[in-house]
Amino acid sequence: MAGLGNNTKLKPSKKADLQVVKPVKTTKYSDINLNAWKDYDHVLTGTLWQFPSRLREHGHSNEYHGNYIPQIAQQMYERYTKKNDIVLDLFFGSGTSGIEAINMGRRCIGVELKDELAEKVSEKFTPKQLVTDVNIICADSASQLAVDKVKTRLDIMGEEKAQFLMLHPPYDDIIKFSDKKEDLSNCESTEQFYDLFEKVAKNGYDLLEKGRFACLIIGDSYKNSEVQPLGFECMNRMRKLGFTLKSTIVKDIQGNERGKGRTANLWRYRALAGGFSIFTHEYIFVFQKA
């Protein structure tokens, strides 16, 4: 019987072990690959956000009372921006928006009212970053001067409009941020606060690219023995300007705020005596410019 020898032909397998690579599918405003949507478990799509503590790494700190937590920027940027997009923050404060823009490969223009704070925050970035990726403008965000300066910077960065708008205003007069009359925390009344906020939001609307998104982070206040619904009124002011409301998110602020930890019992007594509840949340409203 003859052997098989070296000329034996093996039968090919029924199906070649080839891995089919699906094409990348993204939206016009995000780099998230919708064909691999199961890989994005870290991107929150619910309306209740709970973070046990504020991030204190990758350039972030908590030396400035009133800044929002970096996790919000991370979520917003990944879901609503693309690499190299420009984030416009009209209440720049301690620079959370800019720091996270650098961390995530975005760019940022921040408008800050206080000269000394703008100068201090600029030290968080390298000279090169301040030229190419982050620009801090010292101006009143409700003014035409701020608009003109932002437009100039956008032109230098090769864009006509920003691709994302971040708004984290003072919560009325809960915390006084400066002595300037243009400061929203120094308004003579809550109604004046709403009106001034609307002017800032209008500037943001005009500077935002069509079809792109905006984020408003704000909580309510308690004044004259009643709740002042800052969040919903500011949300309505933005809708009046033409923004479409896409999400209303409730964020737990327990563990992320300062000031009530050592006086928790006093606040609890005040709540029981005054018939109100202690704020343990703030709102994150997401809008789209039609």
pLDDT single digits (tens) 247-261:
999 999 986 555 445
pLDDT at 34 over 60: yes
Q: What does the DSSP assignment read for 12-43?
A: PPSS---PPPPPP---TT----GGGGGG-TTS
CA-to-CA distance for 217 and 171, rounded, in angstroms?
10
Question: What pLDDT, on a 0 to 100 scale, did the predictor assign at position 176?
Answer: 85
Half-sphere exposure of 54 (CA within 13 A, CB side): 20
Is 93:66 a contact under the CB 8 Å cutoff?
yes
Question: What pLDDT, on a 0 to 100 scale, did the predictor assign at position 4?
Answer: 42
pLDDT at 67 over 90: no
Question: What pLDDT, on a 0 to 100 scale, did the predictor assign at position 13?
Answer: 53
Q: What are phi and psi of 139, to 5 degrees?
A: -170, 170
Question: What pLDDT, on a 0 to 100 scale, did the predictor assign at position 14?
Answer: 54
Question: What pLDDT, on a 0 to 100 scale, did the predictor assign at position 187?
Answer: 93
First to last CA, the chain: 82
Question: What pLDDT, on a 0 to 100 scale, did the predictor assign at position 1?
Answer: 41
Six-digit token string for 207: 């500077």
Q: What is the dihedral of CA 146, 125, 72, 81, to 10 degrees?
A: 70
Question: How many other CB atoms are there within 10 angstroms of residue 267's CB atom?
Answer: 14
Q: Domain residue spans in the chain?
A: 66-255+283-289
Class (C level, CATH) for 66-255+283-289: alpha beta
Question: What pLDDT, on a 0 to 100 scale, did the predictor assign at position 129?
Answer: 96
